[in-house]
Amino acid sequence: MASRDERQGTQRRQFLGELVAGSMVVALGSLCVVACDERSARARKEKRSDGRPRLPPGQHVIERLRPMGGDVGDVDPRNFRLTVHGEVDAPFVLDFAELSKMPQVEQTCDVHCVTKWSMLDARFTGVRVADLAARAKLRKRARVVIFEAAYGYTSNVPIDEALQPTVLVVHRHQGEPLATPHGAPVRALVPDLYFWKSAKWLTGIRFSDVDEPGFWETRGYHNHADPWNEERNS
């Protein structure tokens, strides 16, 4: 059995080890904050191809995509079904395997949350909404895309923006399958609008001839959600 002095020595060493470990965590956290602040400052000076600043007003850069809650849908890819319908002549339903066989796009882009964080150079893989619209034979009177998700969540995006080549239905992030908090197995990606428009746990894409404000839009959020105009609230 160890003596009292030996036990006290062991406890002191454990205490000092925990103290050093804690100090390292704090130091690393501080370095991360400094690095993110510096990256935010750089991004504010950079310009997009459309002339707007890379970092929208009021935003700050974070290093990893942040999970933002929501009601988790069925995360099993084997159960996934995406219904493409509404103002189309050829509605259809895709399972995960069929979605994976469509032309895939790997895209690096910035995403911006209404809670004021932005992730730069986020990498996603998926299928363009424009390709799904073409397959469904979109009607000319369609004006809005309604992204439908688990438990009745919806978000609305004007058709001209939803058909941009950067707007995707994605199933991979940073080279890995989407994690559950980020909308597995499939979510929408609308990078030029606040991130609540990029509905998680996607179940459908409905093309409509009338605007239909979605879950957050009917609860006081802006109907359009342009980060550069700070369209946060209605």
Question: Domain map of the chain by residue range?
Answer: 1-45, 60-229
Q: What's the pLDDT at 221?
A: 98
pLDDT digits (tens, 9 = 90+) for 193-224: 999 999 999 999 999 999 999 999 999 999 99
Homologous superfamily (CATH) for 60-229: Oxidoreductase, molybdopterin-binding domain (3.90.420.10)
pLDDT of residue 234: 87
Q: What is the pTM of this model?
A: 0.85
Which segments in the chain show pLDDT lower than 70?
1-13, 15-35
3-state secondary structure the chain: CCCHHHHHHHHHHHHHHHHHHHHHHHHHHHHHHHHHHHHHHHHHHCECCCCCECCCCCCEEECCCCCCCCCCCCCCHHHCEEEEEECECCCEEEEHHHHHHCCCEEEEEEEECCCCEEEEEEEEEEEEHHHHHHHHCECCCCCEEEEEEHHHCEEEEEHHHHCCCCCEEEEEECCEECCHHHCCCCEEECCCCCHHHCCCCEEEEEEECCCCCCCCHHHCECCCCCHHHCCCEC
pLDDT of residue 31: 46
At 26 the pLDDT is 42
